[in-house]
Amino acid sequence: MKDIIILIPALNPPKEILFNYINDLRKKGFERILIVDDGCSKDYEKFFDDLKCKGVEIFKHYKNFGKGRALKNSFNYILNNYNDFSYVITADSDGQHNVSDIENIANILRLSKENKLYLGSRNFNKDNVPFKSAFGNKITSFVYKIMFGDKIYDTQTGLRAISKKHLEDFLDLEGERFEYEINMLIYSSKNDIEIEEIPIKTVYFDNNSETHFNPIKDSFKIYLVMFKTFFKFILSSISSWIVDISSYTLLVKILKNMFTSFSPIIWISTIVARIISGLFNYTVNKNLVFNDDVNHKNVFLKYIFLWLSQLILSAFLVDKIYYMINLDSSIIKIGVDSLIFLVSFKIQDKYIFN
């Protein structure tokens, strides 16, 4: 197991559990174990010194920075100080991750030639799972599927196997606490890094009382991360819609006395308004929403194709619905464009902007 490094972030962990956990890992052949002392209290100094004597390496933070920062700093430390490894397996310090599960993941790594992100996935339908953990993870899994397209059953698992190839990719991700782990998944989903879940035992001690996860503060940060791009897209779309509907309304007033039929007024107003708002929207989405710094002509052409499709679809549906229900066309356009907006977000996020 010399090509695998076991990484354990720790903040005032249960000493006896962690000590026995380290011994069990040793017995299974895991020789390279790195513990991140993420600002543990002073009474842990002797405990960590004893682990050092057993050959465990301790990476120390002067104060508590959070799990995300502990992982990023230790990834950087590993890349600077170790060359001969293929995977880093992260595990929690409270003994929640069974050593036999870590051994199983390690065996899978040895047989696989692919650079995947492996997740130890718990079963939240078990009777021993605290309600808040089961409910929170199921909701997060559902939202993640909608936002990023991958069905991940355990988005918050701390048991992960990360290949050396991808370790550097995760250094620059945002997040100081538990939201960093969701950012790791989002980056993988968006950059076609395959994520594979491996079933593990679902272990909770004392109703998960040892966790440092704050159900309000950390959940808010996790959902903020997942909806961050969507929120920016909403603001961008609202701004673009204001430009679009204002231009459309103004053009309808200008053109209403030039045609006997209302259809050409709708089509001309829609096209001109969409050209104005489309250029505005492309600039904002590329530079502020999706932060795409690639200046390929291909990106612009794909956006133009989407823009034309939206333009034609919007004008077609507004025209048809107007003659069906004889409602103000501006009101109809609001409803039609709201539906197009949701589809447009998924297309731009997945297929147009990087």
Instruction: Summarize pLDDT for 82-133 with one digit per residue, the tens.
Output: 888 999 999 998 888 899 999 999 999 988 877 889 999 988 887 767 777 7
Q: What is the pLDDT of residues 148-162, one digit of tens each?
A: 888 999 888 999 999
Residues 177, 60 share a domain: yes
| Cβ-contact 96, 205 below 8 angstroms | yes
Q: What is the pLDDT of residues 262-300, one digit of tens each?
A: 888 888 998 899 889 888 988 888 888 877 766 677 888
Please tell me the total count of domains within the chain: 2
Q: Which two tokens stand for residue 317?
A: 């549906």
Q: Residue 294 contacts by C-beta under 8 Å, 6 or more apart in sequence?
A: 354
Residues 113, 15 share a domain: yes
Residues 258, 173 share a domain: no
pLDDT for position 240: 87
Domain that holds residue 304: 228-352
Residues 277, 238 share a domain: yes
pLDDT for position 4: 94
Residues 114, 203 share a domain: yes
| Cβ-contact 137, 156 below 8 angstroms | yes
Average pLDDT rounded to a whole number, residues 320-348: 86
Residues 244, 195 share a domain: no
pLDDT for position 338: 86
Does residue 54 sit within a domain?
yes
Residues 144, 49 share a domain: yes
Query: Of 36-40, 238-242, 259-263, which one has max mean pLDDT?
Result: 36-40
Q: Which two tokens stand for residue 278?
A: 């489309």
- The mean pLDDT of the chain is 86
Residues 292, 348 share a domain: yes
Domain end residue (candidates: 190, 215, 240): 215
Residues 318, 177 share a domain: no
| CA angle, 241 then 349 then 283, to 5° | 50
pLDDT for position 84: 87
Q: What is the pLDDT of residues 212-240, one digit of tens each?
A: 566 667 677 777 777 788 888 888 888 98
Residues 52, 177 share a domain: yes
Residues 278, 138 share a domain: no
Specify the higher pLDDT residue, 114 or 79.
79
Does residue 223 sit within a domain?
no
The share of the chain scoring above pLDDT 90, in percent, equals 39
Average pLDDT rounded to a whole number, residues 186-205: 86
Does residue 220 sit within a domain?
no
Average pLDDT rounded to a whole number, residues 61-75: 93
pLDDT for position 190: 85
Length of the chain counted residue by residue: 354
pLDDT for position 28: 93
Does residue 83 sit within a domain?
yes
| CA angle, 302 then 337 then 260, to 5° | 105
pLDDT for position 294: 67
Residues 310, 254 share a domain: yes
